[in-house]
Structure 1
Amino acid sequence: MSKKAKSKRGGAQAGDSAPKKEEPFFRPFAKLPAKQPQAPQPASPPQPGKASSTSKGSAAGKAKEPPAAAPRPRQSPPVAADRSARRSEPEDEVLTFERFMSGVTPLEAEGKRRVPTSMADVGGASRTKHKMLAAQQEEAEQQARARLHSLVEEGSAFEVVDDGRRIEGRRRGVDGGLVRRLRLGDLPIDATLDLHGMRVAEAREAVESFVRDRRIKSDHVLVIVHGRGRNSPGGTGVLRGEVAAWLSEGKASTHVAAFVTAPDEHGGEGALCVLLASQTDRPRRV
């Protein structure tokens, strides 16, 4: 490179490093009087709940944060509109009910009487029927007692004794030793007849047939169960006195020598042990 070129570059660098005098900017208001600076106003204390930020070394001091937005007032629900809507619902239901029931005719007083029989009426009829049956049983028992009493008092071919619990009857002339053995249960039992569930007429026919047939078969001792009558009025069986009367008079008596209340092993107070007459004994006609 030539010395002339170097000198030009060096001169250019020297010229750049020399300070240049700045020309002033265009200031149209420069000649106006300067405004006096105002004294800074004291900063207001920070409000509670608002945070303030501080910058160290700052000439401005504490900067204020923008105030928080005020809460919006709550709007009350449309109470009047809701109440009016609620009032209108029952009115609509009433109108709908009247429209559906417009063609219905109410029942008359006679129609109201056509009600099925209540349980109270059924219970009353049942109690009345039970009382009638109880009265009939009581009457039958009284008749049986009267008949048995007549046998004891007036006398007959049989001697009958009844103390209310045990009953005993024997034909006149029968050995007392056989009756005692019958009472103690020393004689073997040949057959038994149970009268439970039978009416009086059915029981009488059964007793007469049973005694007659067993004597034909040469049986000696029978047991006839008449029941204790715990469910009967007075706690005494209706058939108790009836059976004693049938065995001591009537058709069955022609085949009987004696009868006693059975021992406990054969039924106790709910049964009778019957001693049949022997085949050589001539039955009397009634």
Structure 2
Amino acid sequence: MSHDSNDTDDLELFRSAVKGAKPLRVDQADTGKPRIDKDRLQARRQGALTGQEPVRVDGLSDQFVIDVHPEEELAWAGNGIQDSQLRKLKGGQIPFDGSIDLHGMTVEKARDLLWEFLAEATRLEIRCVRVTHGKAVRKDGRKPILKSHVNTWLRQHPQVLAFSSCLPRHGGTGSVYVLLKRTMLEGRDE
């Protein structure tokens, strides 16, 4: 047998196998990355030019902020919370297992950190936390901004059962104890 005839047969077989095939225009492998959505990219560019940022919906509204005085004691309990639970919270009888200090921050930064902090505390099944908001006695006579916002936000948060100003040793009217729902173990919030 001659090698030339095998080579010719192989060449003919190859030609018949690739008959009608078109050469590739792109010689790069598909990496699985999503294709660029040109319309979406254009919309994002346009939004950046107009200064519109996407609105983060976290359930904490600033539309109706309840103004409070610097030394005002805060206390609130959602539906179903017994008076005895609120009294224990006010008296510092429910130990807090986490704490966050927000005073001195911008309202937006405080809002984001508070939301993340409460989500983490809920995930860890923490029963009570302390939130320090400060009381900002202002020279211009205006109400303390962060304290007023925290008072409003905590009333709106779905995981907050109750809150109360702290005892003096834990921050007094510049901090609140926050009683949280515990979702994984049923029956502990009653």
- TM-score by length of structure 2 reads 0.59
- Tell me how far apart the structure 2 counterparts of residues 182 and 265 of structure 1 sit (CA, whole Å): 14
> 2:161 maps to what in 1?
257
- Tell me how far apart the structure 1 counterparts of residues 155 and 69 of structure 2 sit (CA, whole Å): 13
Aligned-residue offset at 1:264: 0.7
Aligned-residue offset at 1:275: 0.3
> 1:269 maps to what in 2?
173
Paired AA for residue 89 in structure 2 = L
- Structure 1 residues 195 and 167, CA, compared in 2 at 3 Å: closer, same or farther? same
> 1:76 maps to what in 2?
none
Aligned-residue offset at 1:215: 1.0
- Structure 1 residues 164 and 266, CA, compared in 2 at 3 Å: closer, same or farther? closer
Paired residues, what number?
Answer: 125
- Where does structure 2 lack aligned partners over 5 or more consecutive residues? 1-61
- Where does structure 1 lack aligned partners over 5 or more consecutive residues? 1-143, 150-160, 282-286
- TM-score by length of structure 1 reads 0.40
Structure with higher Rg: it is 1
Identity of aligned residues (%): 27
The Cα RMSD (Å) is: 2.7
SS at match of 2:116: helix
Preserved contact between residue 70 and residue 173 of structure 2 (Cα < 8 Å):
no
> 1:11 maps to what in 2?
none
The answer to whether structure 1 residue 148 and structure 2 residue 66 are counterparts is: yes
Preserved contact between residue 229 and residue 235 of structure 1 (Cα < 8 Å):
no
Q: 1:210 aligns with which of 111, 117, 122?
A: 117
- Tell me how far apart the structure 2 counterparts of residues 179 and 192 of structure 1 sit (CA, whole Å): 19
Aligned-residue offset at 1:232: 5.5
Please identify which structure carries the higher helix content: 1
Q: Greater RCO between the two (CA within 8 Å, min separation 6)?
A: 2
- Structure 1 residues 176 and 164, CA, compared in 2 at 3 Å: closer, same or farther? same
Aligned-residue offset at 1:168: 1.1
SS at match of 2:86: helix
> 2:76 maps to what in 1?
169
- Structure 1 residues 177 and 259, CA, compared in 2 at 3 Å: closer, same or farther? same
1:166-194 deviation line (CA, Å, top 9, x unaligned): 11111101122111000011111101100
